[in-house]
Amino acid sequence: MADLTPLFHPNSVAIVGASNKPDKIGNVIVRNVIDCGFSGKIYPINPKEPKIAGLPCYPSLVEVPDKIDLAIITVPAKACLDVMEDCGKTNIKHVIVITAGFKEVGPEGLELEKKLLFICKKYGIRMVGPNCVGIMDTHTPLNATFAVGFPLQGDIAFISQSGAMLVSIMDWSKTIGLGFSRVFSLGNKADLNEADFINAIADDPLSKVILCYIEDVHNGKHFLEVVSKAARKKPVIILKSGTSQAGAQAASSHTGALAGSDLAYETAFTQAGIVRARTMTELFDLATCFSYQPLPKGDRVAIVTNAGGPGIVASDTIENTGLSMARFEKETLDALRAYLPTEANIYNPVDVIGDAKADRYSFALEAVLKDPYVDSVVVMVCPTAVTDPEAIAEEVIRLHQKYPEKPILTSYIGGVSLAKGAQRLSQAKIPVFTFPEPAIQAIAGMVNYTRRIDSGAEGEAIRFDDVDRNKVKAIFYDVIRDRRSVLLGSEAAAVAEAYKISAAPVRLATSPDEAVNLSLEMGYPVVLKVASPKIMHKTDVGGVKIGLNNEQEVRDAFIEIMENVQRYLPNVIPYGIEISKMMPKGTELIVGMTRDMQFGPLIAFGLGGIYVNLLKDVSFRLARGITHGEIAAMIAETKAATLLRGYRGDKPADMLSIIDMVARAAQLILDFEEISEMDINPVFAYPDGYSALDIKITIEI
């Protein structure tokens, strides 16, 4: 991937479209570059001005005598092409296009953007934007944006697809003393996108946390590869908007990209080790905690409080967010018992009670910090007549310096009387919240990140050599020749068979006589199902008859199904009726797959049968790179796993064979990109093996 260093550390910057008029963006940027203390050379470009902001101005890039590392373009959209050509001719390799009026305004804009990108490719130029606010680096320092002001120096890198959000956050961050290392506005992402920037920041020693606000991902596969690597180096926290129905609608009309499903984002983010924030508040709470505090080693949280009620609320939150309440070792309890008043609670949550002053807080906090069974601490303070919030803050700061490896978060529950103490904590980089819940949620985010990074990538990706790809190709060829997207049940069963997925045999009959003959061949009892690519839910249209035991029943069922389908769907002409052997009942499972627009095949496992949509006991993984271990974990996440282990005296099911089936299904969809959806429902799991009863496969023509 390209080296983007000159973007952040240029020796010289040119601003094309620089202006002397204070209300012009071209003027704001020149002033921002100067005011941030940029130490390199600055070249304003404008053919009509001799000087801008005291600097000599050049009529065009070509006239500048020195080498330029970074060009910032603010001229109107139509003029950008010529300027970009000039960049190419003068060997400028990094360009920020602030100008709007490209893809976001319609087909003409899109055409213009394509031309702009074409010029970039021709000269090997890397471009930020167009239609963006620009970029900042507080360490260089460089402010190549038209934002108001420059953020404090810090170790948070922030990437935003929304320019407005970026500008607002920069303004807000100063009120709480939050500092940034690098800040990027993505704009239209014509060339450089979120993955490029995440990759660039992953190796930046001055950035501790990567923070993103995105509306869509440019290329799902590439994004996952980059972020999975980056997340192992430092936390990547992402707020992805457009998760709701209404939000997705707004996002797609805002960015012009079809959002991949939120489920796919969720699965992909989890697998890549991304910490996902759900709200803007959470995004910055997490950023603060990741930036200020070390990562906890485990999920055991201790609470030190001076009031019982808030302590209980915090305990509830700890359990509800999947963390656990630390259980202290005997030495800790003995020490607490010896020092704290008798009415205090020495067990977690430790209640130092209302009359506690800084010394008692200090003793209790140090005791729990020393305890090896504690991974993180939340200190809670409620204002009473004797509480000294500032002295307590000083003690917390002192103890954090003494025990820097354990995160401490604080909740100062109050207002005016606690404000100074809270401010002191914030200055010393101890996260301080008013209420305990966000503190605990932030700990949960940190714990989940650690877990995911530690557990990631064990085992080999699945690979089967005993599958018959040519047979599947031949079946697909016939289906495509028939101009269909949906395989008939008999075809899908044959595909499964080629991949050694044990499916109940299915045959197609076009007349009642044929149905009877096939039933005799298979042996009663049999199941009859309507065969039509147009019917998604066969049961709903009376298209399924089970447990048929003789010729007459099969004959009647054939005609009845045809009549039912004709009644419900008069325009659908079935291909015939599928006959399959009635299998003995087992634990009903579903294995599904849908190809997400962004992240590729997504595999699902859960409780099967007709209640799938109601019970929603399903877990998901991206198929790409899946391991047998991941599949086992995926199964374990569902309630179906409890049934499979043998619920209430039932015999346990053959788990290894089920894992094998899921792996083979994953292999199938990875091998054949044309499969857009697959549904194996139900699968009957038995104590020895399993049987796939109904398989639906949709392919793209």
Partner 1 sequence: MKNLYIMGSAGSGKTAMAVGLALKFKQEGLKVAYFKPVSQGYEDATLMKELLNMSAPLEVISPTTASPFYLSRGNRSAEILATIKNAYEEVSRGVDIVIIDSAIFPHIMGTLGLDAPSLALELKAQALYLINIKNDYSLDQSIFFNQYIQNKGVPLLGNIFTHVPRPIQAKIEGVYKPLLDEMGFRTLGIIPRVRELSNPSVAQVYELLGGELLTGEANLDLLVEDIMVGAMTIESALGHMRRANNKMFITGGDRADMALAALETSTSCIILTGGLYPDVKVISRAVEKGVPVILVHFDTYHAIERLSELSGRITASHKESIQKALENVERYCDWQSIISSLA
Kindly tell me which of 145 and 161 has the beta carbon lying closer to partner 1: 161
d(CA 353, CA 334): 18
Q: Does residue number 105 form part of the binding site for partner 1 (CB under 8 A)? A: yes
The token duo for 512 is 């009642």
* Of 317, 289, 310, the residue nearest 383 (C-alpha): 310
Shortest distance, position 698 Cβ to partner 1, whole Å: 5
In this chain, which stretch among 51-59, 131-139, 258-266, 521-529 interacts with partner 1, using CB under 8 A?
258-266
Shortest distance, position 701 Cβ to partner 1, whole Å: 5
The DSSP annotation for 505-538 comes to -EEEESSHHHHHHHHHHH-SSEEEEEE-TT-S-T
Q: Does residue number 542 form part of the binding site for partner 1 (CB under 8 A)? A: no
Selected binder of partner 1 within 11, 153, 320, 511 (CB under 8 A): 511
In this chain, which stretch among 253-261, 271-279, 460-468, 652-660 interacts with partner 1, using CB under 8 A?
253-261
Shortest distance, position 87 Cβ to partner 1, whole Å: 25
Shortest distance, position 175 Cβ to partner 1, whole Å: 36
In this chain, which stretch among 31-39, 213-221, 243-251, 625-633 interacts with partner 1, using CB under 8 A?
243-251
In this chain, which stretch among 67-75, 257-265, 377-385, 435-443 interacts with partner 1, using CB under 8 A?
257-265
Q: Does residue number 176 form part of the binding site for partner 1 (CB under 8 A)? A: no
d(CA 67, CA 14): 10
Total number of residues binding partner 1 (CB under 8 A)?
42
H or E stretch at 65: none
Selected binder of partner 1 within 126, 222, 429, 534 (CB under 8 A): 534
Q: Which of residues 110-139 bind partner 1 (CB under 8 A)?
A: 110
In 49-184, which residue ranges form alpha helices assigned H by DSSP?
77-89, 107-123, 163-173
Shortest distance, position 570 Cβ to partner 1, whole Å: 8
The DSSP annotation for 522-581 comes to H-SSEEEEEE-TT-S-TGGGT-EEEEE-SHHHHHHHHHHHHHHHHHH-TT----EEEEEE
Selected binder of partner 1 within 390, 394, 551, 677 (CB under 8 A): 677
Q: Does residue number 569 form part of the binding site for partner 1 (CB under 8 A)? A: no
Are 603 and 263 in contact, with CB atoms under 8 Å apart? no
Kindly tell me which of 101 and 298 has the beta carbon lying closer to partner 1: 101
d(CA 156, CA 601): 33
Residue span 347-386 as binding mask against partner 1, x where in contact by CB under 8 A, dash where not: ----------------------------------------
Q: Does residue number 252 form part of the binding site for partner 1 (CB under 8 A)? A: yes
Kindly tell me which of 115 and 534 has the beta carbon lying closer to partner 1: 534
User: What residues have CB less than 8 Å from 78, skipping those under 6 apart?
Assistant: 112
Q: Does residue number 106 form part of the binding site for partner 1 (CB under 8 A)? A: yes
Q: Does residue number 574 form part of the binding site for partner 1 (CB under 8 A)? A: yes
The token duo for 289 is 């905690």
Angle between helices 436-455 and 220-233 (to 10 degrees): 100
Shortest distance, position 658 Cβ to partner 1, whole Å: 25
Shortest distance, position 492 Cβ to partner 1, whole Å: 14
Shortest distance, position 631 Cβ to partner 1, whole Å: 24
Selected binder of partner 1 within 152, 573, 633, 656 (CB under 8 A): 573
Kindly tell me which of 65 and 107 has the beta carbon lying closer to partner 1: 107
d(CA 452, CA 444): 12
Q: Alpha-carbon Rg of the chain, whole angstroms?
A: 32
* Of 659, 695, 657, 658, the residue nearest 677 (C-alpha): 695
Selected binder of partner 1 within 324, 345, 564, 566 (CB under 8 A): 566
Kindly tell me which of 574 and 586 has the beta carbon lying closer to partner 1: 574
Are 184 and 178 in contact, with CB atoms under 8 Å apart? no
In this chain, which stretch among 14-22, 133-141, 252-260, 332-340 interacts with partner 1, using CB under 8 A?
252-260
Are 654 and 587 in contact, with CB atoms under 8 Å apart? no
The DSSP annotation for 582-635 comes to PPPP-EEEEEEEEEETTTEEEEEEEE-STTHHHH--EEEEESTT-BHHHHHHHH
Say if residue 700 is exposed, middle or buried (CB neighbours under 10 Å; 0-12, 13-18, 19+): exposed
Kindly tell me which of 484 and 500 has the beta carbon lying closer to partner 1: 484
Q: Does residue number 253 form part of the binding site for partner 1 (CB under 8 A)? A: yes
Kindly tell me which of 152 and 258 has the beta carbon lying closer to partner 1: 258
d(CA 103, CA 580): 53
Q: Does residue number 681 form part of the binding site for partner 1 (CB under 8 A)? A: no
Q: Does residue number 107 form part of the binding site for partner 1 (CB under 8 A)? A: yes
d(CA 467, CA 98): 53
In this chain, which stretch among 33-41, 220-228, 531-539, 625-633 interacts with partner 1, using CB under 8 A?
531-539
d(CA 264, CA 598): 8
Q: Determine the residue type at 219.
A: N
d(CA 133, CA 20): 19
In this chain, which stretch among 9-17, 247-255, 329-337, 655-663 interacts with partner 1, using CB under 8 A?
247-255
In this chain, which stretch among 97-105, 144-152, 153-161, 617-625 interacts with partner 1, using CB under 8 A?
97-105
Q: Does residue number 259 form part of the binding site for partner 1 (CB under 8 A)? A: yes
> How distant, in Å, are the alpha carbons of 383, 495, 674 from that of 503?
67, 10, 21
Neighbours of 225 (CB within 10 A): 16
Q: Which of residues 412-451 bind partner 1 (CB under 8 A)?
A: none
In this chain, which stretch among 4-12, 70-78, 271-279, 533-541 interacts with partner 1, using CB under 8 A?
533-541
Selected binder of partner 1 within 597, 615, 633, 656 (CB under 8 A): 597
Half-sphere exposure in the Cβ direction for 7 (13 Å, CA): 25
In this chain, which stretch among 84-92, 168-176, 537-545, 564-572 interacts with partner 1, using CB under 8 A?
564-572
d(CA 515, CA 441): 60
Q: Does residue number 324 form part of the binding site for partner 1 (CB under 8 A)? A: no
In this chain, which stretch among 124-132, 176-184, 399-407, 568-576 interacts with partner 1, using CB under 8 A?
568-576
d(CA 180, CA 168): 14
Are 575 and 581 in contact, with CB atoms under 8 Å apart? no
Shortest distance, position 257 Cβ to partner 1, whole Å: 8
Half-sphere exposure in the Cβ direction for 401 (13 Å, CA): 7
In 273-328, which residue ranges form alpha helices assigned H by DSSP?
280-292, 308-320
Kindly tell me which of 164 and 573 has the beta carbon lying closer to partner 1: 573
Find the angle CA(697)-CA(459)-CA(651) to the nearest 5 degrees.
65
The DSSP annotation for 343-379 comes to TSB-SSSEE--TT--HHHHHHHHHHHHH-TT--EEEE
Q: Which of residues 467-486 bind partner 1 (CB under 8 A)?
A: 482-486
In this chain, which stretch among 205-213, 216-224, 683-691, 693-701 interacts with partner 1, using CB under 8 A?
693-701
Selected binder of partner 1 within 403, 464, 524, 575 (CB under 8 A): 575
Are 558 and 509 in contact, with CB atoms under 8 Å apart? yes
Shortest distance, position 596 Cβ to partner 1, whole Å: 9
Shortest distance, position 255 Cβ to partner 1, whole Å: 7
Can you give the binding site for partner 1, defined by CB under 8 A?
Answer: 103-107, 109-110, 245, 248-249, 252-253, 255-259, 261, 482-486, 510-511, 533-534, 536, 566, 570-571, 573-576, 594, 597, 676-677, 698, 700-701
